Amino acid sequence: MRSRVFTIAITAVAATGLGLAVQAQKPAPAPTKVVVYKSPTCGCCSNWVAHLRTAGFQVEAHDVTDARLAAVAAEAGVTDNLRSCHTAKVDGYTVEGHVPAADIQKMLKERPKITGIAAPGMPMGSPGMEQGGAKDPYDTVAFTKGGATSVYVRHR
């Protein structure tokens, strides 16, 4: 009887261990790819790219001329009032400017029927625009190709 109990206990432990091994082998989801178009001389753009990478995004950054950057933004439906210093594409959406990674993650989770989101201008304190403790309040704005906008996330 003692031998049978011992065998059952060993079998249970082995089965549990095998279950854990199978779970551990399950691959992690691939990071979301973000393609960024930016000026080669803009340090704040590079800082924003670093912010996205720290948040777990896979970033492919392209240094382009100002003319090409303007064309990329215009093709994506970014109007002049939403423009900033870089434009990104992520999973069918456009991201313009210093939008926090958390706002991008929120958009990708919610999947709203918009063209993208933007942090117009270059708000002080936004990702990539950190200046010590100085922070300007700003909004991340949702936009459509038709030019409609609405506040997506307020940053105060």
Q: What is the CATH number of domain 33-155?
A: 3.40.30.10
pLDDT higher than threshold 60 for residue 18 = no
* C-alpha–C-alpha distance, residues 15 and 37, integer Å: 51
Residues in the chain, total: 156
pTM: 0.82
Q: What is the pLDDT of residues 122-148, one digit of tens each?
A: 999 999 999 988 999 999 999 999 899
* C-alpha–C-alpha distance, residues 63 and 37, integer Å: 6
The answer to whether the beta carbons of residues 126 and 149 sit under 8 Å apart is no
Domain extents in the chain: 33-155
Q: What is the pLDDT of residues 44-102, one digit of tens each?
A: 999 999 999 999 999 999 999 999 999 999 999 999 999 999 999 999 999 999 999 99
